[in-house]
């Protein structure tokens, strides 16, 4: 093993290393074993062993060594060649260069590879019958107003057809949940979120709804339409390479919070939307698809709170859904055995 003297000897190490060794001399290890492919001590074994010796955080060690092992196995299994690996590195470099505060290509790639959806599912196990979760996506904002149930979340003049959403929040034994707050955010009838309009002055098509004591809530709004995820960068190229498209089915995002219950972030999708089965980010689940009903009776529109002239095309889209939340305890119990397996 190298001594401190060897590590700082100008005859043995250059100026850059000597400059970096002011405070700490890194631990060196003797290279005792030859690591070679198709032997009982490969480069994978060597990297893993090195990390085991030097890395101090157990969880980091577990994650990184797992990743190294899987990546090395992938290269062996697919016999990855130099040109292919160079393409991978170029692609990731582009993803880094083209990422901005508003469009993170790595987040998009995580979504398009199904990893975001997988991590979400691993971390939100649910008892049978509970509403499935999915990722919040990039369009949530903190500035949505807190509002009472029954109001309109769409400003006058918002593009799209009228919609009336009503939700019922209950627990796994069918009891109504009191004290819930429901964050809602959605695109308009052009498939555009308020934050995507350059002239946005205030929140639109979003709100933090205080649910009624009986566990119900409702709001008037606009029927959302399908929209594409950003596809002018590496993530878009990846989708095209795989023969996939970037379009997400129409949906409304919800985040439900209630004392004693596991927070739920999810989205609901109208069954009439295209792209339900080919979601580029794999957030569309069958259980979250809803059948909407068209209401053509003006008297019913008035009961929902719509004023004369607010309803276009002679219909209001009526959207109903029952959210089922597990308690914190129920989720905790489900997570215990999964952690033990790791
Ligand atoms: Fe969305």
252 C-alpha to ligand 1 centroid (Å):
7
73 C-alpha to ligand 1 centroid (Å):
36
225 C-alpha to ligand 1 centroid (Å):
10
Spatial separation of the C-alpha atoms in residues 69 and 48, rounded to whole Å = 8
Q: What are phi and psi of 207, to 5 degrees?
A: -175, 160
220 C-alpha to ligand 1 centroid (Å):
18
Residue range of the domain that includes 53 = 31-78
Q: What are phi and psi of 230, to 5 degrees?
A: -55, 130
Q: Which of 51, 78, 105 is the last residue of a domain?
A: 78
247 C-alpha to ligand 1 centroid (Å):
11
140 C-alpha to ligand 1 centroid (Å):
9
Tens of pLDDT, residues 155-200:
999 999 999 999 999 999 999 999 999 999 999 999 999 999 998 8
> Which residue is associated with the tokens 């989720």?
331
268 C-alpha to ligand 1 centroid (Å):
10
Show the beta-strand stretches assigned E in 90-215: 146-148, 162-171, 181-186, 206-210
61 C-alpha to ligand 1 centroid (Å):
35
Q: How far is CA 203 from CA 5, 22, 47, 323, in A?
A: 64, 53, 50, 25
207 C-alpha to ligand 1 centroid (Å):
15
Tens of pLDDT, residues 26-83:
888 889 899 999 999 999 999 999 999 999 999 999 999 999 999 999 999 999 999 9
Residues paired with 266 in a beta bridge: 254
Kindly state whether residues 136 and 64 are assigned to the same domain: no
121, pLDDT greater than 80? yes
224 C-alpha to ligand 1 centroid (Å):
10
Kindly state whether residues 204 and 258 are assigned to the same domain: yes
CATH of the domain at 274: 2.60.130.10
- Averaged confidence pLDDT in the chain: 93
196 C-alpha to ligand 1 centroid (Å):
12
141 C-alpha to ligand 1 centroid (Å):
12
Strands 216-222 and 162-171, by their bridges, are antiparallel
18 C-alpha to ligand 1 centroid (Å):
52
Are the CB atoms for 226 and 252 separated by under 8 Å?
no
Kindly state whether residues 122 and 73 are assigned to the same domain: no
186 C-alpha to ligand 1 centroid (Å):
6
342, pLDDT greater than 90? no
- pLDDT grade, residue 149 (50/70/90)? very high
19, pLDDT greater than 50? yes
Residue 256 falls inside a structural domain: yes
Residue 106 falls inside a structural domain: no
187 C-alpha to ligand 1 centroid (Å):
7
236 C-alpha to ligand 1 centroid (Å):
17
Spatial separation of the C-alpha atoms in residues 28 and 41, rounded to whole Å = 20
Kindly state whether residues 132 and 248 are assigned to the same domain: yes
Kindly state whether residues 53 and 120 are assigned to the same domain: no
195 C-alpha to ligand 1 centroid (Å):
12
251 C-alpha to ligand 1 centroid (Å):
6
Residue 232 falls inside a structural domain: yes
Q: 203: alpha, beta or left, given left = phi > 0 and alpha = psi -120 to 50?
A: beta
Residue 289 falls inside a structural domain: yes
- If you write DSSP's letter for every residue of 230-263 in order, what string do you get? P-SSHHHHHHHHTT---EEPP-EEEEEE-TTB--
Kindly state whether residues 169 and 122 are assigned to the same domain: yes
112 C-alpha to ligand 1 centroid (Å):
14
Kindly state whether residues 202 and 279 are assigned to the same domain: yes
249 C-alpha to ligand 1 centroid (Å):
9
Kindly state whether residues 65 and 120 are assigned to the same domain: no
* pLDDT at residue 340, as a whole number: 43
Spatial separation of the C-alpha atoms in residues 183 and 167, rounded to whole Å = 12
286, pLDDT greater than 90? yes
* pLDDT at residue 123, as a whole number: 85
Kindly state whether residues 68 and 201 are assigned to the same domain: no
Residue 214 falls inside a structural domain: yes
**Among the listed residues 5, 63, 54, the one whose alpha carbon sits nearest the alpha carbon of residue 27:** 54
């Amino acid at each position: 093993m190298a001594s401190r003297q060897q590590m700082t000897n100008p005859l043995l190490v250059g100026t850059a290393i000597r400059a970096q060794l002011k405070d700490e001399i890194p631990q060196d290890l003797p290279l005792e074993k030859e690591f070679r492919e198709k032997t009982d001590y490969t480069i994978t074994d060597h990297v893993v062993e090195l990390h085991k010796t030097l890395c101090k955080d157990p969880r980091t060690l577990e994650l990184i060594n797992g990743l190294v092992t899987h990546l090395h196995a992938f290269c062996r299994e697919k016999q990855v060649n130099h040109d292919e690996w160079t393409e991978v590195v170029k692609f990731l470099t582009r993803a880094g260069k083209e990422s901005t505060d508003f469009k993170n290509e790595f987040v998009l790639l995580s979504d398009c590879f199904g990893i975001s959806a997988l991590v979400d599912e691993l971390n939100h196990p649910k008892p049978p019958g509970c509403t499935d979760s999915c990722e919040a996506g990039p369009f949530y904002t903190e500035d949505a107003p807190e509002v009472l149930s029954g109001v309109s979340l769409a400003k006058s003049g918002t593009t799209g057809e009228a919609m009336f959403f009503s939700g019922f929040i209950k627990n796994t034994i069918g009891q109504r949940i009191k004290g819930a707050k429901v964050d809602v955010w959605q695109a308009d009838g052009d498939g555009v979120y308020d934050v995507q309009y350059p002239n946005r002055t205030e929140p639109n098509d979003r709100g933090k709804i205080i649910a009624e004591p009986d566990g119900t809530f409702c709001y008037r709004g606009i029927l959302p339409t399908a929209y594409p995820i950003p596809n002018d960068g590496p993530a878009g190229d990846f989708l095209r390479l795989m023969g996939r498209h970037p379009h997400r089915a129409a949906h409304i995002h919800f985040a439900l919070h209630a004392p004693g219950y596991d927070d739920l972030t999810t989205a609901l999708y109208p069954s009439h939307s295209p792209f339900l089965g080919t979601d580029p980010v794999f957030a569309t689940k069958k259980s979250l698809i809803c059948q909407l009903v068209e209401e053509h009776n003006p008297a019913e529109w008035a009961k929902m709170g719509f004023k004369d002239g607010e309803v276009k095309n002679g219909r209001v889209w009526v959207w109903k859904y029952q959210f089922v939340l597990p308690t914190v305890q129920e989720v905790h119990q489900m997570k215990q055995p999964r952690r033990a397996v790791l």
